[in-house]
Amino acid sequence: MAREELGVIKPQLEEEHFKPKPPLPKDWYKNVDWINLKDREPDLYTLLFDFLINKMAPCPACVMTTAKFPARSILIETRHPERGIEYARMRISPSSVVRGAPEPGSMIEVDTVLRIDYYDLVRILLGEIDTVDPIEDGTATFIGNMTALLDLKDAIDLAIKGDLSAKLPRPLMWPDGHP
């Protein structure tokens, strides 16, 4: 890319990137093998817990890679059209999912807060879009430690693909295991 092209907006690429996503099919969760209960759409906690137990934990590449990360606590806040705002905390190493946000004054630290549409998170966990796409599109935000977000991305990518080829090299300023 020529130096003159840096920072130039290319409308044809922008339009392609921001196409509206089609809605998920009705009862989408009934066809997802890693979701345990099929009687209703899972709430945020159940969605993350099932992904952790049924996708991340059985994946040797995911377990071996995330074991090298420092302890990370990510507060995920989703907006669901019917249930409203839901919170869950996900720890990558050691792995766990906790329902709700930490209570004020509880001394529970959160490295990163990810605010995202519920169905965008579903698309991420299904492997339809990349973990950072909603952030790059401006439909999701994160506050806090960038490497914690990259750790989450790596864990999800590894769990979805099942092998180390899914993990992209990190930028030098955010190496694996960086605090």
Going across the sheet that includes 112-117, the strands are: 96-99, 84-91, 73-80, 112-117, 141-144
- Residue 23 scores a pLDDT above 90: no
- Residue 6 scores a pLDDT above 90: no
Inside any domain, residue 86: yes
Q: How much is the pLDDT for 170?
A: 77
Contact predicate 72/148, CB 8 Å:
yes
Give residue 117's domain range.
40-163
Q: How many angstroms separate the CA atoms of 27 and 105, rounded?
A: 39
Q: How much is the pLDDT for 4?
A: 61
Q: How much is the pLDDT for 103?
A: 84
- pTM, rounded to two decimals: 0.85
Q: What is the pLDDT of residues 30-44, one digit of tens each?
A: 999 999 999 999 999
Inside any domain, residue 132: yes
Contact predicate 149/140, CB 8 Å:
no
- Residue 46 scores a pLDDT above 60: yes
Give percent of the chain above pLDDT 90.
47
165 vs 90: which has the higher pLDDT: 90
Number of domains into which the chain is organized: 1
Inside any domain, residue 61: yes
The pLDDT of 151-157, averaged and rounded, is: 91
Inside any domain, residue 176: no
Inside any domain, residue 152: yes
**Mean per-residue pLDDT over the chain, rounded:** 86
Inside any domain, residue 67: yes
**CATH of residue 129:** 3.30.1050.10
Q: Which range is least confidently modeled, 11-15, 24-28, 112-116? A: 11-15
Beta-sheet strands, E only, within 9-159: 73-80, 84-91, 96-99, 112-117, 141-144
Confidence of residue 80 (pLDDT cuts 50, 70, 90): very high
Residue in 127, 129, 128 with CA at minimum distance from that of residue 160: 127
- Residue 144 scores a pLDDT above 80: yes
- Residue 2 scores a pLDDT above 70: no
For 68-90, give one letter per residue: b (16+ CB within 10 A) or e. Answer: ebeebbbbbbbbeeeeeebbbbb
| DSSP helix/strand/coil, 88 | strand
Inside any domain, residue 35: no
Inside any domain, residue 14: no
